[in-house]
Amino acid sequence: MGAKYKTEPLKCWDKAKEIRLNYYKNFATAHEKGGLRWAGGAWSFDAIPAGLGDDVYPLTGEPYGAAVAFNKDFALKCHEAVEKAGYARDLCSYMRNYWGSILLNKYVFGGEFPKPDFIWQDHICCSHAKWYQVVRDLEGKDIPMHCIDVSVGPYEELTDNKLDYVVGQMHDGIEWLEAVTGRKYDDEKLIRAVHDHCRSESIWAEVCALNKTVPAPLDEKTMYSLYVHGTLNKSSKIVADFYEELRDEVRDRVKRGIAAVANERCRVMSDTQPPWAFLSVFRYLEKYGCVSVGSLYTFGLIGMWEIKEDGSWGPRKTPQEEGIEIKDRDKALRILASWELNKPEWQHFYFPQLKSEMMIRIAKEWKLDGVLLHYNRGCEGLSLGIAENRLALKEAGFPVMSFEGNMGDEREFDEAQTMTRIDAFMESLDFEKDVS
Amino acid sequence: MNVAGIDCGAKNVKALILEEGKIIAKSSVFSGFDQKAAAKEALDLVLKDAGLKKEDLSHITATGAGKEEVSFSQGTITEVGANAKAINFLFPSARTVIDIGAEEGRAIKISEKGKVVDFAINEKCAAGAGTFTETMARALEIKLEEMGALSLKSQKAVPMNAQCAVFAESEVVSLIHTKHTKEDIVRAVHDAIADRIASMARKIGIEKDVALVGGVARNIGFVDSLKRDLELDLLIPEDPEFSCALGAAYAAVEKAKGG
């Protein structure tokens, strides 16, 4: 079977790469420009340190860990260094890649590992709570650290008291930032960053929603290189503007019927972080005309969603679109906290069934033939409950293939066996390899 | 019409010829390092046994871990799909197939038409596969073929906790040193594999009847352990290690008929 649809590369691809590389370079060279470096998780409220100035550069740990994972040789050196230092090999593999870089004093983007000036973290899982504590052990106790506890339960159970609890920590955090950096905090910059934060996340959801189209304008392997910007610095104008440009291009692809996979005849989604060193899995699917249109992970880690009038999932309206005016710090922080606690990926830390409901919604609305579940040994947080998700998806009538692996430690992934498993799954769905 | 199914497995290559849907010849050779040559040897042997030439075959379908190495095949099918076809033909009442080969254990749920509904395969681990028993036989200094009968003579169940072939071997050594009988240790090995396989099968939901195939199905001790664990009887074909080759041959029939 030959090509059914036209396909073409993304025009904004090079820009996506450039923004990402500049981000890592800016962190490394921040001091040369008189700026500051902060480190923390990709789930951190990054709009808040933005109030310290435009020369304050973040390094988020998870995408850094993924970048290391993509470089198999360096990742292995990191794992060995971490194990030699006495840490267990079944800990979060992103965290181990990050610690390994510190121990080796090597930045995967070149040069020595840049030491942060302060740590700005929030606690979404056990690993996140310990990650930067160990960073301080390794880098030096002189690095100040502020952590925000966000364990307030799922969004549907959010109360004013719970919101106050998180917002209160944010207020404390701003005072702490002023104290440890000696800089005066600028609320106008905070308000601008909160707007850009919401804009980035709403537009990314819009991009993902466009993938409901048949043929899908984007495949998940490509989406990994695009959603990453939201994990790096979602509150920056650069990212929000880039997502607008991307959204416009994807809209145009939909209008012109441009497909990600020219022979698309089967649609699946994945789940959790992929084994980064083996994204070849997604190209292998294409041999069957199978496109992975995304996942709750790619849609919901950055994308912010709401149920539209017709009952379907669509991008959440930003505060600006809702006509909400942000005039002061407290309002900005309350909007930021409330917005972020609604993040889809945040919900299933509490109940697996919340994740199952969202996955079934995606399977239906994105017109899927099946689901590939990655039992990711590298991430306890996002893999917890995944076997229950499998059962729920099957009960809802969606065929599921599961495979074990690790997002950041290739020693726990068997490429040949995974491909064999894909063969059996595709065969069971009555799809044959495209030999043309 | 004559067709052939070739199962290029991790340890042995099995070849089988069907004539008008009936098995007329079978062969099995050691896979070795050159699977291509082993596959050819298996085909030559089975053709000789059937008194046929390669040109007499309407279609050849390959399966198994080395299926892509079977250069003379006209099509391939996965082990999961092949087992589903074979068991649906041999035991139409079967809804679950458990296949334990040298390096992989699989559980497959099939429909009444022999279609794969769900499946599970053991992960990056040898503890649910035939190689595990071979390693344990070596540790116990007994022949693999002796394990089944020895196991049935066991007088008591000895728990074996290891879920890894490497650690299990050291556990076997510990059991030897603590003066457990060989019979009890062999049963412990079989119980451990059965536990792992049963757990994998439960993941997809066990539905009766249950068929057991693959070379390990010849081990009566293991079969006994698995029956006890699953608390049900098992349907085992006469030549359980030829199940995949048979399924591949049925796939070849479908292809030859233009399916």
Per residue in B2-17, pLDDT (tens digit) is 999 999 998 899 999 9
First to last CA, chain A: 6
Q: Please give the pLDDT value at position A142.
A: 87
Upper half-sphere CA count for residue B224 (Cβ side, 13 Å): 17
Q: What's the average model confidence in pLDDT over B87-114? A: 93
| Phi, psi at B19, each rounded to 5° | -120, 115
From B78, B118, B123, residue closest to A427, measured CB to CB: B78
Query: Do the chains contact at A424 and B78, CB–CB below 8 Å?
Result: yes
Q: For an interface test with B, which of A278, A395, A423, A431 has the most B Cβ atoms less than 10 Å from its Cβ?
A: A423
CA distance A318 to A163: 19
Q: Among all residues of chain A, which has the CA nearest to that of B104?
A: A417
pTM: predicted TM-score of the whole model, two decimal places: 0.90
pLDDT of residue B125 exceeding 70, the answer is no
Residue A105, Ramachandran bin (φ over 0: left; ψ between -120 and 50: alpha; else beta): left
Q: Please give the pLDDT value at position B171.
A: 82
How is chain A split among helix, strand and coil, in percent rounded to 5? Answer: 55, 15, 35
Residue A39 in tokens: 């480190």
Q: Please give the pLDDT value at position B124.
A: 63
pLDDT of residue B259 exceeding 90, the answer is no
Distance of CA A99 to the CA centre of its chain: 20
Q: Please give the pLDDT value at position B128.
A: 67
Count of pairs with CB atoms under 8 A, one residue in A, one in B: 39
ipTM for the predicted complex comes to 0.82
Query: Do the chains contact at A424 and B119, CB–CB below 8 Å?
Result: yes
Task: Tell me the DSSP string of A218-248.
Answer: --HHHHHHHHHHHHHHTTSHHHHHHHHHHHH
Bigger pLDDT: A200 vs B175: A200
Torsion of CA A50, A51, A53, A56, to 10 degrees: -30
Look at strands A370-376 and A266-270 and give their pairing: parallel
Q: Please give the pLDDT value at position B163.
A: 65
Bigger pLDDT: B119 vs B131: B119
pLDDT of residue B90 exceeding 80, the answer is yes
Query: Do the chains contact at B124 and A404, CB–CB below 8 Å?
Result: yes
Query: Do the chains contact at B116 and A414, CB–CB below 8 Å?
Result: no
Amino acid at B79: E
* Per-residue pLDDT tens over the stretch B198-254: 989 999 999 999 999 999 999 999 999 999 999 999 999 999 999 999 999 999 999
Residue A427, chain B, CB below 8 Å: the answer is yes
Q: What's the average model confidence in pLDDT over B22-35? A: 93
Map B197-244 to HEC letters: HHHHHHHHCCCCCEEEECHHHHCHHHHHHHHHHHCCCCECCCCHHHHH
Q: What is the C-alpha radius of gyration for chain A, rounded to an integer number of angstroms?
A: 21
CA distances to A126, A371, B123, B214 from A421, rounded to whole Å, are: 32, 13, 11, 18
Among residues A96, A102, A136, the alpha carbon closest in space to that of A117 is found at A136
pLDDT block averages, 10 residues each, chain A of length 436 = 88 98 98 97 96 98 97 96 95 97 98 97 89 94 93 95 98 98 98 98 98 98 97 97 98 98 97 94 96 97 96 97 96 97 91 95 98 94 91 97 94 90 96 80
- Domains (range + CATH), chain B: 1-91+242-259 (3.30.420.40), 93-236 (3.30.420.40)
Q: For an interface test with A, which of B69, B97, B118 has the most A Cβ atoms less than 10 Å from its Cβ?
A: B118
Is the separation of the CB atoms in A399 and A428 below 8 Å?
A: yes
Contacts of B123 in chain A (CB under 8 A): 404, 414, 417
From A413, A420, A427, residue closest to B77, measured CB to CB: A427
Is the separation of the CB atoms in A344 and A358 below 8 Å?
A: yes
* Per-residue pLDDT tens over the stretch B45-60: 999 999 999 999 999 9
Length of chain B: 259
Sequence-distant (6+) residues with CB within 8 A of B40 are B72
